[in-house]
Amino acid sequence: MSFAINGQTQLAGVIGWPVEHSLSPAMHNAALDALGLNWRYVAMPVQPGEVVAAVRGLAALGFRGCNVTVPHKLEVIAALDNVAPEAEALGAVNTLVFRRDDGGRLRITGHNTDVGGFIGDLRANGFEPEGRRIVVVGAGGAARGVVYGLLGAGAARIVVLNRTVERARQLVADLTQSGKTAQGPQRIERTLTRKPADPAPPVEVAALTEVTLTEAAQTADLLVNTTTLGMWPRVEGCVWPEGTPLPPTLTVYDLVYNPLETHLLHLARQSGARAIDGLGMLARQGALALDLWMGQALDVEAVTALMRRAAIGQKAES
Ligand code: NAP
């Protein structure tokens, strides 16, 4: 059921620059309609440099919260009164909750639902990360959430491969120094100071080459692509070398969701490997954001499924 906008309509939305191609309005409004809520979710273009003013304005206007997308995930931190542990550890926020405290003061809290979106989607697809060997390709913003989540979920070993190896080293150093993963930091520190007798290290770093990638994948349970390779419009891009089969025992997760079937996932399926697209993570991080705005009263599984269907519908239209 879709409500006409009236005096009781509650608002949420997404800020980014640009933001007009975001799938979030279609996902959230479909879920809000299905839940019978008199809420609307809108996309709001906000220029870099104006993020703090925009966020404070939304809070003052009575918005329930908003999502924050590229390039504002760092700039928005200056507007926060509180920050959730995972957002603090990553230094990146993708969801804001606006609430008044007992004294009536408006408080802005920053969260990062990408971590829960990724780990939750892995588990929903039947892959439990605990004790598993994982290769993460890429070391950008998305990779940080992925590595943080995998450490917290108890992965046995993580290999981070990136074209710019220094960026991968920095990622590990930052997560180590922040000391904020549920169980991760101790494990990372042990890696950096490990002795030969120590158990297998949880995080290793290397430059991304065909050799490092195919070798690491041979002994891995899961390969996660967090690079932009394969993303529209350069859909021919692929981290995996053409003509080399992927190990059929591997699960391959591609964060890219446009297109849904990337060339990497196509190669994985051809090789008999399991392939998971990035739309489940996108839908779940959206459902987790709505759950935060509604005071954690949501059936996250059902709303994730609704949002995923809405995103596919929106992609088909565009
Ligand atoms: P980012 O911070 O810009 O990082 C981009 C990454 O891609 C870097 O590791 C970069 O390597 C690598 N890369 C770019 N071009 C490459 C090339 N030609 N060869 C090898 N590596 C290359 O981007 P991000 O925010 O992490 O996002 C990455 C992807 O994840 C995007 O496609 C985004 O849509 C997707 N994503 C999906 C979800 C979801 O919910 N499914 C959530 C977040 C992000 P260098 O460091 O060497 O430049």
Q: Is 226 in the pocket of ligand 1 (CB under 6 A)?
A: yes
pLDDT at 9: 97
Nearest residue to 91 (alpha-carbon basis) of 103, 102, 78, 81: 78
Spacing, Cα 225 to ligand 1 middle (Å): 8
pLDDT at 318: 72
From the CA of 164, give the closest atom in ligand 1. 47
For tokens 């879709």, the residue is: 2
Planar angle of CA 77, 114, 169, nearest 5 degrees = 75
pLDDT at 176: 66
How many other C-beta atoms are found inside a 10 Å radius of the C-beta of residue 182? 14
pLDDT at 3: 74
Q: Is 140 in the pocket of ligand 1 (CB under 6 A)?
A: yes
d(Cα 126, Cα 178) in Å, to the nearest integer? Answer: 30
pLDDT at 147: 95
From the CA of 256, give the closest atom in ligand 1. 32
Strand partners, 251: 222, 274
Tell which one of 70, 119, 255 to mutate to probe ligand 1, the residue whose CB is within 8 A of the most ligand atoms: 255
Spacing, Cα 226 to ligand 1 middle (Å): 5
Q: Is 256 in the pocket of ligand 1 (CB under 6 A)?
A: yes
Spans of the chain, pLDDT less than 70: 1, 176-201
pLDDT at 184: 30
pLDDT at 177: 64
pLDDT at 175: 85
d(Cα 84, Cα 51) in Å, to the nearest integer? Answer: 19
- For residue 174, how many C-alpha atoms fall within 13 Å in the half-sphere facing its CB? 21
Q: Is 183 in the pocket of ligand 1 (CB under 6 A)?
A: no
Nearest residue to 306 (alpha-carbon basis) of 294, 314, 297: 314
Q: What is the CA radius of gyration of the chain?
A: 20
pLDDT tens-place string over residues 163-221: 999 999 999 988 866 544 433 322 223 233 333 333 435 899 999 999 999 999 999 99
